[in-house]
Structure 1
């Protein structure tokens, strides 16, 4: 009887991002490496930085040995569910108006600095030309 593989979403995997509870996703597989963090030759901070996203490229770039890849398989707890559609943040029209209003407020608030620089430059230029 074939063993059923547990599927995890990237959101589920990224929830496990602490030293006591650390999962990484590499090549579509999910690994619980919590118990291995202290033994990782590159340090736990390297592994913790790879949580919450697909760490395949980081893993391959590090040049892990064949024995490291075999050891990694002992930590495999399932596969990444690629059928799940990632949730996108949808900004409502009201939120867009709020962002636009904030931009207008910032523009009004900081108009003084460039205007002052231009004004001082004009006065200094005028005084310089007047002396000649």
Structure 2
């Protein structure tokens, strides 16, 4: 009878990133290496830095032996979900502007920012009065 393989997302795998609970992803497989951290020849910090991402390149660059590759199979707990994320749907918006509420919007805007035009008018009156008084 075939064994069922558990499928994990990268987000799930990256949540296991402590010395007591450490998962790494290599070649599309998820490994729980928590019990192997102290035995890892490169040190536990190497494995801890590999969490939260696909560590295949780092694993290959380290030049692991055939024995190491065989050993890691006992730590395999599942596979990485490699289905692409869904493409979000675009919302189509009409280019026509809603003009129904435009007078109310203008009125609200003018109520909110009445200080600026009143100040401009007030300064204009004062400057005009001073100019005419000098003549």
Q: Cα distance, 1:84 vs. partner? A: 5.4
SS at match of 2:23: strand
Q: How does 1:49-68 map to 2 (within 5 A)?
A: 49-68=49-68
Aligned to 2:32: 32
Q: Cα distance, 1:3 vs. partner? A: 1.0
Q: Cα distance, 1:2 vs. partner? A: 1.3
Quick check: which has more Rg, 1 or 2? 2
SS at match of 1:74: helix
Q: Distance in 2 between matches of 1:84 and 1:22?
A: 25
Aligned to 2:122: none
Asked if the contact 1:9–1:84 (Cα under 8 Å) also holds between the matched residues in 2, the reply is no
SS at match of 1:31: strand
The TM-score normalised by the length of structure 1 is 0.64
The TM-score normalised by the length of structure 2 is 0.62
- CA RMSD, Structure 1 to Structure 2 (Å): 1.8
SS at match of 2:2: coil
Unaligned runs of 5+ in 2: 89-135
Aligned to 1:106: none
Asked if the contact 1:25–1:54 (Cα under 8 Å) also holds between the matched residues in 2, the reply is yes
Asked if the contact 1:7–1:80 (Cα under 8 Å) also holds between the matched residues in 2, the reply is yes
Asked if the contact 1:24–1:54 (Cα under 8 Å) also holds between the matched residues in 2, the reply is yes
